[in-house]
Protein backbone atom coordinates (compact mmCIF):
# COMPACT_ATOMS: atom_id res chain seq x y z
CA UNK A 1 0.00 0.00 0.00
CA UNK A 2 2.68 2.45 1.01
CA UNK A 3 5.13 3.53 -1.63
CA UNK A 4 6.82 6.56 -3.12
CA UNK A 5 10.32 7.75 -3.84
CA UNK A 6 12.95 7.97 -1.16
CA UNK A 7 12.55 11.28 0.62
CA UNK A 8 14.61 10.50 3.68
CA UNK A 9 16.45 11.75 5.53
CA UNK A 10 14.47 14.94 5.95
CA UNK A 11 16.74 17.72 7.18
CA UNK A 12 15.32 20.87 8.69
CA UNK A 13 17.96 23.56 8.93
CA UNK A 14 17.36 26.75 10.94
CA UNK A 15 13.67 26.65 9.96
CA UNK A 16 11.86 29.86 10.84
CA UNK A 17 8.22 30.89 10.70
CA UNK A 18 7.24 34.31 12.00
CA UNK A 19 3.63 35.21 11.23
CA UNK A 20 2.78 38.83 12.13
CA UNK A 21 6.22 39.25 13.67
CA UNK A 22 5.67 36.53 16.28
CA UNK A 23 8.29 33.77 16.06
CA UNK A 24 6.50 30.41 16.08
CA UNK A 25 9.41 28.45 14.67
CA UNK A 26 12.57 30.17 15.78
CA UNK A 27 15.30 28.15 14.09
CA UNK A 28 14.35 24.47 14.06
CA UNK A 29 17.19 22.04 13.36
CA UNK A 30 16.07 18.46 13.00
CA UNK A 31 16.87 15.31 11.04
CA UNK A 32 14.25 12.63 10.51
CA UNK A 33 15.27 9.20 9.29
CA UNK A 34 13.12 6.93 7.16
CA UNK A 35 11.54 4.67 9.77
CA UNK A 36 9.57 4.65 12.96
CA UNK A 37 7.22 6.89 14.84
CA UNK A 38 8.45 10.27 16.08
CA UNK A 39 6.32 12.06 18.62
CA UNK A 40 6.67 15.83 18.85
CA UNK A 41 6.16 16.92 22.44
CA UNK A 42 6.09 20.34 24.00
CA UNK A 43 3.93 22.86 25.84
CA UNK A 44 1.06 24.72 24.22
CA UNK A 45 2.24 27.27 21.68
CA UNK A 46 5.65 25.62 21.34
CA UNK A 47 5.24 25.27 17.57
CA UNK A 48 4.44 21.53 17.33
CA UNK A 49 1.46 21.80 14.99
CA UNK A 50 3.12 24.49 12.90
CA UNK A 51 6.14 22.23 12.49
CA UNK A 52 3.89 19.47 11.12
CA UNK A 53 2.00 21.88 8.90
CA UNK A 54 5.26 23.20 7.53
CA UNK A 55 6.38 19.65 6.72
CA UNK A 56 3.02 19.13 4.99
CA UNK A 57 3.61 22.24 2.91
CA UNK A 58 0.68 24.10 4.45
CA UNK A 59 2.82 26.87 5.89
CA UNK A 60 5.62 28.59 4.03
CA UNK A 61 8.63 29.15 6.28
CA UNK A 62 10.21 32.56 6.08
CA UNK A 63 13.69 31.32 6.82
CA UNK A 64 15.84 28.20 6.80
CA UNK A 65 15.29 25.15 4.66
CA UNK A 66 13.81 21.66 4.43
CA UNK A 67 15.73 19.12 2.38
CA UNK A 68 14.05 15.87 1.42
CA UNK A 69 16.97 13.55 0.80
CA UNK A 70 18.78 16.56 -0.56
CA UNK A 71 15.87 17.81 -2.65
CA UNK A 72 13.75 20.86 -1.93
CA UNK A 73 10.61 19.07 -3.18
CA UNK A 74 9.01 16.39 -0.99
CA UNK A 75 7.10 14.54 -3.73
CA UNK A 76 3.51 13.44 -3.46
CA UNK A 77 3.84 10.79 -0.75
CA UNK A 78 3.15 13.04 2.25
CA UNK A 79 -0.24 12.92 3.98
CA UNK A 80 -1.58 14.67 7.07
CA UNK A 81 -4.39 13.92 9.49
CA UNK A 82 -5.78 16.72 11.61
CA UNK A 83 -7.10 16.72 15.16
CA UNK A 84 -10.62 17.42 13.88
CA UNK A 85 -10.81 15.98 10.38
CA UNK A 86 -13.30 17.66 8.07
CA UNK A 87 -15.50 15.08 6.44
CA UNK A 88 -17.47 15.75 3.29
CA UNK A 89 -21.25 15.50 3.21
CA UNK A 90 -20.86 12.22 1.40
CA UNK A 91 -20.49 8.53 2.06
CA UNK A 92 -17.65 7.01 4.06
CA UNK A 93 -16.26 5.52 0.82
CA UNK A 94 -16.35 8.88 -0.99
CA UNK A 95 -14.48 10.48 1.89
CA UNK A 96 -11.86 7.75 1.86
CA UNK A 97 -11.31 8.46 -1.84
CA UNK A 98 -10.73 12.22 -1.38
CA UNK A 99 -6.93 12.09 -1.34
CA UNK A 100 -6.86 9.90 -4.45
CA UNK A 101 -8.25 12.61 -6.73
CA UNK A 102 -4.86 14.11 -7.61
CA UNK A 103 -3.41 10.66 -8.36
CA UNK A 104 -5.62 10.22 -11.43
CA UNK A 105 -6.21 6.52 -10.84
CA UNK A 106 -8.75 4.41 -12.68
CA UNK A 107 -12.17 4.04 -11.05
CA UNK A 108 -11.44 0.37 -10.36
CA UNK A 109 -8.17 1.19 -8.66
CA UNK A 110 -9.80 3.89 -6.51
CA UNK A 111 -12.53 1.48 -5.47
CA UNK A 112 -9.95 -1.19 -4.72
CA UNK A 113 -7.82 1.09 -2.56
CA UNK A 114 -10.85 2.48 -0.72
CA UNK A 115 -12.19 -1.02 -0.03
CA UNK A 116 -8.80 -2.15 1.29
CA UNK A 117 -8.25 0.75 3.68
CA UNK A 118 -11.82 0.71 4.95
CA UNK A 119 -11.43 -2.99 5.67
CA UNK A 120 -8.21 -2.32 7.58
CA UNK A 121 -9.69 0.45 9.72
CA UNK A 122 -12.85 -1.58 10.38
CA UNK A 123 -15.26 0.65 8.48
CA UNK A 124 -15.97 -1.54 5.46
CA UNK A 125 -19.48 -2.28 6.73
CA UNK A 126 -20.22 1.45 6.85
CA UNK A 127 -18.83 2.32 3.43
CA UNK A 128 -22.16 3.56 2.12
CA UNK A 129 -23.23 5.43 5.27
CA UNK A 130 -22.91 9.19 5.59
CA UNK A 131 -19.49 10.06 7.01
CA UNK A 132 -21.03 12.78 9.16
CA UNK A 133 -23.00 10.18 11.10
CA UNK A 134 -19.86 8.46 12.36
CA UNK A 135 -18.76 8.64 15.99
CA UNK A 136 -15.61 10.60 16.93
CA UNK A 137 -13.46 7.47 16.93
CA UNK A 138 -14.86 6.29 13.61
CA UNK A 139 -14.28 9.72 12.09
CA UNK A 140 -10.63 9.63 13.09
CA UNK A 141 -10.29 6.09 11.72
CA UNK A 142 -11.81 7.31 8.47
CA UNK A 143 -9.35 10.22 8.42
CA UNK A 144 -6.51 7.72 8.85
CA UNK A 145 -7.97 5.55 6.10
CA UNK A 146 -8.17 8.58 3.83
CA UNK A 147 -4.50 9.32 4.37
CA UNK A 148 -3.50 5.65 4.21
CA UNK A 149 -5.23 5.21 0.85
CA UNK A 150 -2.79 7.68 -0.68
CA UNK A 151 0.09 5.35 0.21
CA UNK A 152 2.05 7.93 2.20
CA UNK A 153 5.76 7.55 2.77
CA UNK A 154 5.48 10.24 5.44
CA UNK A 155 2.32 10.51 7.54
CA UNK A 156 1.87 13.55 9.76
CA UNK A 157 -0.66 13.28 12.58
CA UNK A 158 -1.66 16.39 14.53
CA UNK A 159 -3.05 15.24 17.88
CA UNK A 160 -5.06 12.48 16.26
CA UNK A 161 -6.59 11.24 19.51
CA UNK A 162 -7.04 14.51 21.41
CA UNK A 163 -10.84 14.33 21.39
CA UNK A 164 -11.24 10.57 21.76
CA UNK A 165 -12.13 8.30 24.67
CA UNK A 166 -9.62 5.62 25.80
CA UNK A 167 -11.17 2.84 23.71
CA UNK A 168 -11.19 4.91 20.54
CA UNK A 169 -7.67 6.12 21.34
CA UNK A 170 -6.46 2.54 21.65
CA UNK A 171 -8.00 1.66 18.28
CA UNK A 172 -6.36 4.65 16.60
CA UNK A 173 -2.99 3.83 18.18
CA UNK A 174 -3.25 0.27 16.86
CA UNK A 175 -3.92 1.65 13.39
CA UNK A 176 -0.97 4.04 13.60
CA UNK A 177 1.30 1.10 14.42
CA UNK A 178 -0.16 -0.86 11.50
CA UNK A 179 0.46 2.02 9.11
CA UNK A 180 4.03 2.22 10.40
CA UNK A 181 4.44 -1.52 9.79
CA UNK A 182 3.11 -0.92 6.28
CA UNK A 183 6.17 1.25 5.65
CA UNK A 184 5.08 4.80 6.45
CA UNK A 185 7.29 7.09 8.49
CA UNK A 186 5.10 8.74 11.09
CA UNK A 187 5.53 12.08 12.83
CA UNK A 188 2.81 13.01 15.27
CA UNK A 189 2.03 15.48 18.01
CA UNK A 190 0.27 14.67 21.24
CA UNK A 191 -0.26 16.09 24.70
CA UNK A 192 -0.72 12.62 26.09
CA UNK A 193 2.58 11.53 27.64
CA UNK A 194 1.28 8.00 28.17
CA UNK A 195 0.50 7.76 24.49
CA UNK A 196 3.88 9.19 23.55
CA UNK A 197 5.52 6.55 25.73
CA UNK A 198 3.42 3.73 24.25
CA UNK A 199 3.74 4.58 20.61
CA UNK A 200 6.91 6.51 19.91
CA UNK A 201 10.34 5.35 18.79
CA UNK A 202 11.84 8.77 19.36
CA UNK A 203 10.77 12.07 20.89
CA UNK A 204 11.25 15.51 19.40
CA UNK A 205 10.89 17.94 22.27
CA UNK A 206 10.13 21.45 21.11
CA UNK A 207 9.80 24.62 23.15
CA UNK A 208 9.86 28.26 22.18
CA UNK A 209 9.92 27.35 18.49
CA UNK A 210 13.18 25.37 18.81
CA UNK A 211 13.98 21.69 19.12
CA UNK A 212 15.44 21.35 22.62
CA UNK A 213 15.94 17.63 22.54
CA UNK A 214 15.63 14.77 20.05
CA UNK A 215 16.31 11.40 21.54
CA UNK A 216 15.08 7.81 21.62
CA UNK A 217 11.83 7.46 23.48
CA UNK A 218 13.13 5.26 26.32
CA UNK A 219 15.98 7.65 27.04
CA UNK A 220 13.78 10.75 26.88
CA UNK A 221 11.34 9.41 29.42
CA UNK A 222 13.96 7.99 31.78
CA UNK A 223 16.71 10.63 31.47
CA UNK A 224 15.69 13.78 29.63
CA UNK A 225 18.80 15.76 28.76
CA UNK A 226 17.67 19.35 28.25
CA UNK A 227 16.63 21.58 31.18
CA UNK A 228 13.38 22.45 29.35
CA UNK A 229 12.44 18.78 28.88
CA UNK A 230 13.21 18.05 32.54
CA UNK A 231 10.89 20.88 33.62
CA UNK A 232 8.22 19.76 31.13
CA UNK A 233 8.31 16.22 32.47
CA UNK A 234 7.87 17.56 35.97
CA UNK A 235 4.90 19.58 34.76
CA UNK A 236 6.61 22.88 35.48
CA UNK A 237 7.53 24.23 32.07
CA UNK A 238 4.16 25.63 30.97
CA UNK A 239 3.89 27.54 34.26
CA UNK A 240 7.36 28.97 33.91
CA UNK A 241 6.54 30.20 30.41
CA UNK A 242 3.21 31.61 31.55
CA UNK A 243 4.86 33.61 34.34
CA UNK A 244 7.67 34.81 32.10
CA UNK A 245 5.15 35.99 29.47
Partner 1 sequence: MLPTLLDAFHLLGNLDAQVLAIVWLSLKVSLSAVALGALIGLPLGAWVAVARFPGRNGVAVFLNAMMGMPSVVLGVLVYLLLSRSGPLGSLGLLFSPAAMIFAQTLLVAPLIAALARQIVEDAWRDYAHEFAAFRLSRRQSVATLLFDCRFSLVVAVLAGLGRAISEVGAVMIVGGNIEGFTRVMTTAIALETAKGDLPLSIALGVVLVGLVLGLNALAHGLRQWAMVKYG
Query: Rule CB under 8 A: which residues touch partner 1?
Result: 53, 56-58, 76, 79-80, 82, 85-86, 88-90, 98-99, 101-102, 130-133, 146, 150
With both helix axes pointing from N to C terminus, report the angle between 136-149 and 107-120 in degrees, rounded to the nearest 10.
140
Report the C-alpha gap between 77 and 75 in whole angstroms.
6
Task: Provide the minimum distance between the beta carbon of 31 and partner 1 in the complex, in angstroms, as a whole number.
Answer: 23
Question: Cβ closer to partner 1: 89 or 234?
Answer: 89
Task: Provide the minimum distance between the beta carbon of 78 and partner 1 in the complex, in angstroms, as a whole number.
Answer: 8
Task: Provide the minimum distance between the beta carbon of 153 and partner 1 in the complex, in angstroms, as a whole number.
Answer: 14
Question: Cβ closer to partner 1: 58 or 174?
Answer: 58
Question: Cβ closer to partner 1: 82 or 205?
Answer: 82
Task: Provide the minimum distance between the beta carbon of 65 and partner 1 in the complex, in angstroms, as a whole number.
Answer: 20
Question: Cβ closer to partner 1: 132 or 223?
Answer: 132
Instruction: Specify the long-range contacts of residues 18-24, CB closer than 8 Å, at least 24 apart.
Output: 18/62, 18/63, 23/209, 24/50, 24/209
Contact 189, 52 (CB under 8 A): yes
Task: Provide the minimum distance between the beta carbon of 69 and partner 1 in the complex, in angstroms, as a whole number.
Answer: 19
Task: Provide the minimum distance between the beta carbon of 58 and partner 1 in the complex, in angstroms, as a whole number.
Answer: 5
Report the C-alpha gap between 35 and 37 in whole angstroms.
7
Report the C-alpha gap between 53 and 57 in whole angstroms.
6
Report the C-alpha gap between 119 and 145 in whole angstroms.
9
Question: Cβ closer to partner 1: 30 or 156?
Answer: 156
Whose CA is closest to 190, among 68, 21, 62, 38? 38
Alpha helices in 97-192 (DSSP H): 107-120, 136-149, 166-181
Question: Cβ closer to partner 1: 60 or 234?
Answer: 60
* Side-chain-side CA neighbours of residue 6 (13 Å): 6
Residues 6+ apart with CB under 8 A from 23: 16, 17, 209
Task: Provide the minimum distance between the beta carbon of 41 and partner 1 in the complex, in angstroms, as a whole number.
Answer: 22
Whose CA is closest to 80, among 198, 187, 204? 187
Question: Cβ closer to partner 1: 98 or 203?
Answer: 98
Amino acid sequence: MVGGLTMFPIRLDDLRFTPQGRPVLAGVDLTLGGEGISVVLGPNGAGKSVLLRTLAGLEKPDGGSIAWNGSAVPGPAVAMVFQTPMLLRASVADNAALGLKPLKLSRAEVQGRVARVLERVGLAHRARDSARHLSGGERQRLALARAWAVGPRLLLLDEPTAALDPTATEAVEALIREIRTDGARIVMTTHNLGQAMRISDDIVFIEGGRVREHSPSARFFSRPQSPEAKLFMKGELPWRIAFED
